[in-house]
Amino acid sequence: MAKDLSESPAADPLFGAAWAAAGAPLSSRSWNLPLINGLAVGAVIAGVAYRLWQAHLPADVLRQEEILIGVGVVLGGVAVAARVAKLSNRLAVQLPIMGSAAILAVLVLGTAGRWLGDDLPPLAAVSFAAVFLQFDVGLHSRHFGYVFGVAIVGLGLLWAYAVTQLMVSLSAVVIWTLILMGLGILALLTSRSVERDLGVQVERQSSLLATLSDLGEGLVITEKGRFIAGNDAYVTLTGYSREELAAMPSLIDLAPADDRDRLAANLARRLGGGAAPARYTSALISKSGRRVEVEVAIHRVTSRRDQLLTLVSDISERLRAEAAERESETRFRTLFQQAQAGMAFASLDGHVTTVNPAFCELVGYSETELRTLSLVDITHPDDAAALQDAMHSMLAGEEEGRRIEKRYTRKDGEHVWVDLTMRLVRGADSRPLYFQTVAVDIRDRRRS
């Protein structure tokens, strides 16, 4: 079952930062950071081992140190593996590893302490600093108190042994204790600063995700086509849970069968660095079997070469509206072409732009010829003033349309009486667009 993150400010688990704010581990299955941490600790172990070698330890003590350092190397490998496996944030994992590391540090330095002299305090401080930083900074520990307590107890025992049994200078212990405290405070402040900056990033990302989800825009991150994370809008769009989406070999499987080859080829070109469309239309089949027309916009995640961030918009309603509009236009065009009445459209200055066959037959001009004329040009001179008055009145907003009886002058010179209905068509902003006229031949009625 998916974890409910609805109460978190980063409720939509799309980005790693959002997961971190929700209490989930931020780390990914990458070896980069764990290896850097492991190398840092390994350098400290190597430095301590070199100092022990220089101390010319007795053979039996040297064998003990070799065993302890070997165990420490193994423990370091376990710590790195825990980090990679995303187990390092669990207290049940942290405390045993941290406690074992502290005990090893005490044993290694305590066993060889009498041969180290005044080098014991700096070696102890560096060793515990490495252990402390490895688990609080390197492993992003959320159990600061426990980790700090283990380090302090282990270091305190070593200091007590050094001062009481090895006669190490108390001033050296104080100096290196202060240095270690300074390093710890610096690490803590740095960690808090990073968390604060991360919180700001989370809020910004969450705000964007919430806005996109409210708008119904789906966001999904894929790696080589496989689902990594998606916002609620995408999950709702597909009808599948995040677990079901993650179990799919590729999200291309959601596409209709006849479109999968095209999408797979585009994905291969994009991941291979070739040219591929960044925006295209397709469809997906939801869990219920409903076909959803979508528009897809793809952006490459720069930090991960194989990961893509995709915006998926449901355009089903838009396509239905466009289809309905085309159908309406087709019906109107059919009606316009087959109408018995003469129909004409004219610009705001009265010049003819479009006519139907009935209008051409009525006035005796071809459509090409009429486009070079105005409505006034083909109007009987005695009726031109009435036509112009109607046009001016409509443009002034005094009336939306007018019906008049007037005469057209045909190309052959004959005067044709018509019942003319004329109106001014306006846009959504009420701006005048063009005139529309419908003329019915009334010659027979006028003769009677």
Is residue 253 within 8 Å of residue 226, measured between CB atoms? no
pLDDT of residue 135: 57
DSSP state of 137: I
Q: Do 199 and 225 reside in the same domain of the chain?
A: no
By CB atoms closer than 10 A (0-12, 13-18, 19+), residue 47 is middle
Name the nearest CA neighbour of 314 among 412, 237, 420. 237
DSSP-assigned states of every residue in 402-424:
EEEEEEEE-TTS-EEEEEEEEEE
Side-chain half-sphere CA neighbours of 33 within 13 A:
17
154 domain residue, yes or no: yes
**CB proximity list for 163: less than 8 A, separation 6 or greater:** 170, 173
Average pLDDT, the chain: 80
- Going 223 to 224 to 226 to 227, the CA torsion angle's sign is positive
**For the residues 140-166, what does the mean pLDDT come to?**
69
Task: Give the per-residue pLDDT at 208.
Answer: 62
**Domain shared by 73 and 198, yes or no:** yes
Q: Assess whether 162 and 28 both reside in one domain.
A: yes
Are residues 168 and 311 part of one domain?
no
Nearest to 20 by CA among 84, 425, 28, 444: 28
- Whether residue 326 lies inside any domain: the answer is no
Residue 328 belongs to a domain: no
Among 261, 289, 318, give the residue marking a domain's end. 318
User: pLDDT digits over 235-249, tens only?
Assistant: 989 999 999 999 999
- Residue 231 belongs to what domain range? 215-318
β-bridge pairing 401-409 and 226-230: unpaired
Contact 137, 151 (CB under 8 A): no
Task: Convert the pLDDT of each residue in 274-290 to its tens digit.
Answer: 888 888 899 999 999 99
Q: How far apart are CA 221 and CA 375, in angstroms?
A: 60
- Any domain includes 4: no
Are residue 163 and residue 279 in the same domain, yes or no?
A: no
Per the structure, the count of domains in the chain is 3
Q: Are 123 and 48 in contact (CB under 8 A)?
A: yes
Q: Are 123 and 196 in the same domain?
A: yes
**Cβ pair 408, 362 in contact under 8 A:** yes
| Same-domain check for residues 402 and 301 | no
76 and 177 fall within a common domain = yes
Question: Two tokens at 268?
Answer: 């291969």
Taking the C-alpha atoms of residue 18 and residue 235, their distance in angstroms, rounded to an integer, is 17
pLDDT tens for 84-134 read 676 666 777 777 877 787 787 778 877 887 788 777 777 777 777 777 666
105 shares a domain with 63: yes
Task: State the pairing for strand pair 307-314/291-300.
Answer: antiparallel
Residue 36 shares a structural domain with residue 171: yes
Q: How confident is the model at residue 221 (pLDDT cuts 50, 70, 90)?
A: confident
User: In terms of domains, do 351 and 303 share one?
Assistant: no
Residues 6+ apart with CB under 8 A from 369: 411
Establish if 127 belongs to a structural domain: yes
Q: Which pLDDT score is estimated for 56?
A: 82
Residue 419's domain is classified under what CATH number? 3.30.450.20
pLDDT of residue 349: 95
Same domain membership, residue 125 and residue 193: yes
Domain end position, chosen among 207, 239, 269 = 207
Q: Is residue 157 a part of any domain in this protein?
A: yes
The predicted pLDDT at position 436 comes to: 96
SS3 state at 271: helix
Which of 3-12, 27-36, 56-65, 306-315 comes out lowest in average pLDDT?
3-12
Asked which of 174, 191, 207 is the last residue of a domain, the reply is 207
Specify which residues 239 forms β-bridges with: none
Domain-located, residue 238: yes
How many angstroms separate the Cα of 331 from the Cα of each of 222, 245, 334, 343, 361? 44, 43, 5, 15, 22
Given a cut of 80, is residue 187 above it in pLDDT?
A: no
**pLDDT at residue 88 in the model:** 64
Query: Could you tell me if residue 358 is inside a domain?
Result: yes
Q: What is the DSSP letter of 379?
A: B
- Which of 98-102, 320-324, 328-332 has the weakest average pLDDT? 98-102
Residue 20 has pLDDT above 60, yes or no: no
Among candidate residues 58, 104, 53, the one with its CA nearest the CA of residue 78:
104
